[in-house]
Amino acid sequence: MLTIWGRKNSSNVMPVLWTADELGLTYDHKMVGGSFGGINTDTFKAMNPNMRVPVLQDGDFTLYESNAIVRHLARAHGQGSLLPDNLKEQAHADQWLDWHKTTLTGPMIDLFWRTVRCEPDQRNPDLIAQAKVATEKALALLDAHLAGRSFMVMDRLTIADIPLGTLIYRYYNIQVDHQDFKNIKAWYARLQDRPAYRKNVMIPFGTTLAEWDKLERSLV
């Protein structure tokens, strides 16, 4: 039996839960991290010495790093579906998973923490503006890539769409002006047609730290 560890409002846990549900896997889910605690224990540290979620357990096999888990689940259960069969398409999917971590995640999470995870009277408008410019610079590249495409690397959902699609929900639900990225919007609409996306990614996070905390505590 697979076990997925990590609170479901984490943008790193969401891609793992979304992948598992797209693949129709059965798993046990443990809500740890954030206000749920449970990651600062010897047992958790033995699974992930970084003390971060998500973690996947499959019998005596343990894996951390969200994109590594997404890749592993797709290789194990999604050959020809979430994992492209063709080596070049697989390489492009890998390219976008790495781009998600190295290029989009930093500015996007910076924007998120400087707005939603910060009380309004503590917010720094200059730093928010900087984070927004950096996020939208990366998103402009994503928007150009999506021109004429339904999904990131194929005409169907693959692992390349999953971590990026998770951050796109964050972008559109932070209270800032949003640039008119037409191709991203069309792709985001296609993602929202998927039950596994609605279930695992479209989780309200509020507009302030207090709302975030309250919503987190209401999760089950």
Q: Which amino acid is at 186?
A: A
- Nearer Cβ to ligand GSH, position 71 or 132? 71
Q: How far is the CB of 94 from ligand GSH (least distance, A)?
A: 15
Number of amino acids touching ligand GSH (CB under 6 A): 12
Neighbouring residues of 38: CB distance < 8 A, sequence distance ≥ 6? 30, 32, 44
CB 97, CB 152: distance < 8 Å: no
HSE, side-chain direction, 13 A CA sphere, residue 105: 14
Burial degree of 188 (CB within 10 A; 0-12, 13-18, 19+): middle
Q: Which amino acid is at 114?
A: R
Question: What is the footprint of ligand GSH within residues 15-44 (CB under 6 A)?
Answer: 33-34, 39
Q: How far is the CB of 121 from ligand GSH (least distance, A)?
A: 25
Kindly tell me which residue out of 3, 21, 29, 52 binds ligand GSH, with binding defined by CB under 6 A: 52
Q: How far is the CB of 110 from ligand GSH (least distance, A)?
A: 13
Distances (CA, A) of 132 to 119, 128, 141: 18, 6, 14
The residue of the chain with the least Cβ separation from ligand GSH equals: 33
Please report whether residue 90 would count as binding ligand GSH according to CB under 6 A. no
Q: How far is the CB of 218 from ligand GSH (least distance, A)?
A: 16
Q: How far is the CB of 148 from ligand GSH (least distance, A)?
A: 30
- Nearer Cβ to ligand GSH, position 65 or 213? 65
CB 131, CB 111: distance < 8 Å: yes
Quick one: which segment of 9-17, 120-128, 169-177, 205-213 binds ligand GSH (CB under 6 A)? 9-17
The dihedral region occupied by 191, where left means phi > 0, alpha psi between -120 and 50, and beta the remainder, is: alpha
Question: What is the footprint of ligand GSH within residues 61-80 (CB under 6 A)?
Answer: 65-66
Burial degree of 156 (CB within 10 A; 0-12, 13-18, 19+): exposed
Quick one: which segment of 6-14, 114-122, 138-146, 207-215 binds ligand GSH (CB under 6 A)? 6-14
Q: Which residues sit at the interface with ligand GSH, rule CB under 6 A?
A: 7, 10-12, 33-34, 39, 52-54, 65-66
